[in-house]
Structure formats: structure tokens, C-alpha cells
Amino acid sequence: MKSLFQILVLVVLFSACSQKQSDINYKAIGYFSTKYTIETGAPRQGTLVPNSAGVIILDTVYTKGLTELDEFEFIWVMFHFDKSKGWDLIVKPPESHHEFGVFATRSPRRPNAIGLSLVKVDSIVANKIFVNDVDAFNGTPILDIKPFLPSVDFVSSKKNNEAEEHLGHHSENFINDTLVKEFVLGEKNE
């Protein structure tokens, strides 16, 4: 009986250790308040449209976590592309003449709809971070915030510069409602 119990314990342990963890759950810590909606569109990248203002409103439980953040001019904001519908492995970004693997793009339609924006901090009042260079829709859930550190976040790369130039840097700075339908919602234009 003792050996049967030991075998059962080993089977349970082996089974638990061999299973892949497929569910990762995050809870939003706040949201963006901006003038951008699905109907209006939004900047392709916030830094391309200076003075695109917004507010990051955090749940008040995280207010103390903002201590000293006002020492930084720029922050990284990770968020959930909550308006994005579906995803594709091959993507043709708006205005591009090339198709790319989704991981070679900044498409909002990704297997895990996680976005990353570099925004400029104007001021912080209580649980609100007033920012510029915003490219997110109103109500977009915030997952995390980290400071931009020039010593580690900036790399000058000849290869990346050449790839961006060869593959096409987009001339459109703003994703309008037509592009939102295709690029965010995945609706094909006929």
C-alpha cells in the first residue's frame, strides 16, 4: 500500500511539473484617459504626434508606487490592446508594401494583445499621471509603468536603422477610422 501511495504521489508530481503554464493573468492597474476612440483613430506612435495629451489614471491603491516617478521625463507604459480583435501571423501594416511576421511589427493584433508606449510625463497629481505623446484609445487598460532609462533603453543599431529604412518607415503618423477598422479590428476593406 505504501509503494502504491508513493507511485501515486510521483505520478501527480510528474504530471504537475510537466504541464505547461498556459494561463497568465494580469490585472489592470489603471487606464488611459485620452481624446482618442475607435471612431477618431489615434497616433501610430505617440512620439510622432507631439502634444497628444492624456492622463494615466491609476487605481488609488497604487498611488504610493508613483513616488519619485516625477524625477523622470519619459516612462514606458505597458497596456492591453482591449479594442484589438484577433491576430494574424503575417501582417501588412497600413501604407506598407511588405508583409511581416507579426513579431516584426508593432501591430495591435497580436497573440497577446500587449502594447508598449513611450510617453512624456508632464506632472503627477495623486494617482494621475499627466502625459504627452499618447497613442492609446480612451479607457485602454494599463498593465505596468517603468521609467525610461537612457543608459539601457537606447541602443544605436546600424542593422535596425537599415531594416527600418529598407522595410518601410510609415509616412502616416495617425491611424484614422478606416485604418482602425483594418489594423485594429481586423476588418478587411472590400
Q: At residue 110, does pLDDT exceed 80?
A: yes
In this structure, are residues 172 and 179 in contact, taking their beta carbons and an 8 Å threshold?
Answer: yes
CA of residue 183 relative to chain centroid, distance: 15
Mean pLDDT value of segment 167-188: 56
- Domains recognised in the chain with CATH numbers: 25-150+158-171 (2.40.30.70)
pLDDT in tens, 131-152: 999 989 999 999 999 999 988 8
* Dihedral pair phi/psi, residue 16, rounded to 5°: -65, -40
pLDDT above 70: residue 34: yes
Q: Are 45 and 132 in contact (CB under 8 A)?
A: no
pLDDT at 181: 53
Q: What is the pLDDT of residue 143?
A: 97
Q: Let me know: does 41 contact 175? Beta carbons within 8 Å.
A: yes
DSSP-derived 3-state class of residue 9: helix
What's CA 88's distance to the chain center, in Å? 17
Amino acid letter, 48: L
In degrees and rounded to multiples of 5, residue 142 shows phi and psi of -90, 130
Read off the pTM: 0.77
